[in-house]
Amino acid sequence: MPSPTAVICQTHRSALAGWRCLACQATLCPECAVGQRIQTVELVRCGLCGGDAEVLRIHRGVVPLAHRLKRAWRYPFSLPAVQLVLALGAFLAVLGGLATMVPVFIRLPVLLFYAGTFWATFFALVRESARGDTSLDIPEFTELGRDVLVPGLRGVLVFLVASLPALAFALVAYSGVSAAVDVFSWFILWRIPPELLRDGVFWLLVGLGALWLPAGLLLVASHQPPWQLLNPRLAFSVVRGLGSDYWVGTAALAGLVPVHLAAHVLAAAVRTLKFPLVPYVLAECITLVVPLLAAHILGLLLFVRGDQVGYGEPREYLEPLLGGTRPVRDAPPLVGHMAMDAAAQGVVLEAVDKEAAFDGALGNLTTAMEARNIPLALSTYAELEQFPAMRVPAALHLFIGQAAAVEENFPLAVSALERAADVAPDEETAPRALVLLARVLGERMNETARAEEVYRYVQHRYPDTAAARFASKHARYEPE
């Protein structure tokens, strides 16, 4: 992880640097860097020597979780969150009312659907916050079993595993023929006998389960197999990897418990109002606020330290040191300055020629793709390889990868597909490119180990996509 030490401008010692010159290695603040626009590309140059400058990046973990939590309370009260709460609350209120009206043998499936809808949304919000996304969308429920029932069962399983130590102790401490049934009814109805409430060991085990609970929820949100919840080494590695931020997040979640209990008391009072359906919708909405905030806190844990527990690629956790700050000065236009010396004119003309060559090659490649002219596309793509891959749209990289695979030029296919995923990791082309990459590696190049790594990455990075479902069917192993 990069050092959290601030980088100081070489010229202005009181200013932070956001760029480093590749030529003279000077660190540059916004006053020392010079912005330059060539065609559609924005560059940054050194104001000292004129060389190209690179953006300085730093790990997002340098901003501690405790600092981010100061603004986290606003999350459930944003407009997207209010819309989500109203929509989800209305849906859960209908399901809850339906569960009270249907026969007993139908009630269990309805309750499972209720729990599944809640937990699927909860885990989706954790993953959204882990990506830095605050759009708060209700997940798409395309398959009842996978998208609804499985998340519901996993959510219940997390709380069951967290309760296992206390449950086991209660079974030993409580005597009687129906001990097992009674113990489970205590935890479901929360009507625990007074003698057990006075037992210090019982509360110690409850506390240990509560400390493990955030790790269990993170494991489920990151699509770990259910049996991994019983793996103490994995849970310990999560706690150790997240470091002190895990305990900060756990403390924040513990602080939400009394708020959530108060919300349930208020919701019970709202349900007594004599209006059709509306009180039940409001009651559901009231009790959803704290879970939404809890999901956001868990997501922030992964957003800040997820690379320490294998969640996502390390490069995804690096951000520009100065954020979106731009250079204060902009370079003059590349034409109309006859007073510049011959060397400067040569640099300008060379830059203009390179940009013209790039624009021409990019236009030819786009035309070739639209015409499905594979030979022209492959030859034109070779001309573009001298330019940064980020300047070529991901769709063109993907097309070349597909075309090269058809032409059995597998090294080019692998290179183009990797670029398609790298230049736009959040676009829909990325998981498609990665699945095709895994197929080329495994089925055509016999590099099964690399193919397995790509399949597992797709399941981990793009869990709720058709590409992830394809990967889960073709990978030999579940994602770790």
Residues 49 and 69 in one domain: no
The mean per-residue pLDDT over the stretch 225-241 comes to: 85
* Rounded Cα gap, residues 204 and 183, in angstroms: 17
Residues 196 and 305 in one domain: yes
* Rounded Cα gap, residues 39 and 228, in angstroms: 52
Q: Which domain holds residue 467?
A: 342-474
Among 266, 286, 319, give the residue marking a domain's end.
Answer: 319
Q: What is the pLDDT of residues 313-322, one digit of tens each?
A: 777 788 888 8
Flag whether 325 is in a domain.
no
CATH code for the domain in which residue 371 is found: 1.25.40.10
Q: What pLDDT was estimated at residue 446?
A: 84
Q: Is the pLDDT of residue 293 over 70?
A: yes
Flag whether 420 is in a domain.
yes
Residues 70 and 10 in one domain: no
Flag whether 21 is in a domain.
yes
Residues 414 and 349 in one domain: yes
Residues 285 and 193 in one domain: yes
Residues 140 and 175 in one domain: yes
Q: What pLDDT was estimated at residue 222?
A: 81
Instruction: Provide the pLDDT confidence category of residue 349 given band limits of 50, 70 and 90.
Output: very low
Residues 352 and 298 in one domain: no
Flag whether 333 is in a domain.
no
Flag whether 334 is in a domain.
no
Q: Is the pLDDT of residue 4 over 50?
A: no
Q: Is the pLDDT of residue 171 over 90?
A: no
The mean per-residue pLDDT over the stretch 295-306 comes to: 90
In percent, the amount of the chain with pLDDT more than 70 equals 83
Q: What is the pLDDT of residues 261-290, one digit of tens each?
A: 999 999 999 988 888 888 899 999 999 999
Buried b vs exposed e over 447-456: b needs ≥16 C-beta within 10 Å?
beeebbebbb
Residues 73 and 51 in one domain: no
Buried b vs exposed e over 214-236: b needs ≥16 C-beta within 10 Å?
bbbbbbbbbbbeeebbeeeebbe
In 3-state terms the chain splits into helix, strand, coil percentages (rounded to 5) of: 65, 5, 25
Q: Is the pLDDT of residue 170 over 60?
A: yes
Q: What pLDDT was estimated at residue 445?
A: 87
Flag whether 203 is in a domain.
yes
The mean per-residue pLDDT over the stretch 107-120 comes to: 85
Residues 259 and 283 in one domain: yes
What's the total number of domains in the chain?
Answer: 3
312: tokens are 């996502």
The conformation of residue 37, written as its DSSP 8-state character, comes to E
Residues 37 and 74 in one domain: no
Nearest-5° angle of CA 345, CA 348, CA 354?
A: 140
Nearest-5° angle of CA 12, CA 13, CA 16?
A: 85
397 in Cβ contact with 433 (< 8 Å) = yes
Residues 286 and 347 in one domain: no
Flag whether 324 is in a domain.
no
Residues 237 and 93 in one domain: yes
Which residue would you say has higher pLDDT here, 297 or 150? 297
Flag whether 22 is in a domain.
yes
Q: What is the pLDDT of residues 366-412, one digit of tens each?
A: 777 777 778 878 887 887 777 777 778 888 888 888 888 888 888 88
Residue 320: enclosing H or E segment and its boundaries?
strand 318-320
Mean residue pLDDT across the chain? 80
Q: What is the pLDDT of residues 33-77, one digit of tens each?
A: 988 765 555 778 888 888 888 888 888 888 888 888 888 888 888
Q: What pLDDT was estimated at residue 357?
A: 67
Q: What is the pLDDT of residues 198-221, one digit of tens each?
A: 788 888 988 898 899 999 898 888
The conformation of residue 445, written as its DSSP 8-state character, comes to S
425 in Cβ contact with 133 (< 8 Å) = no
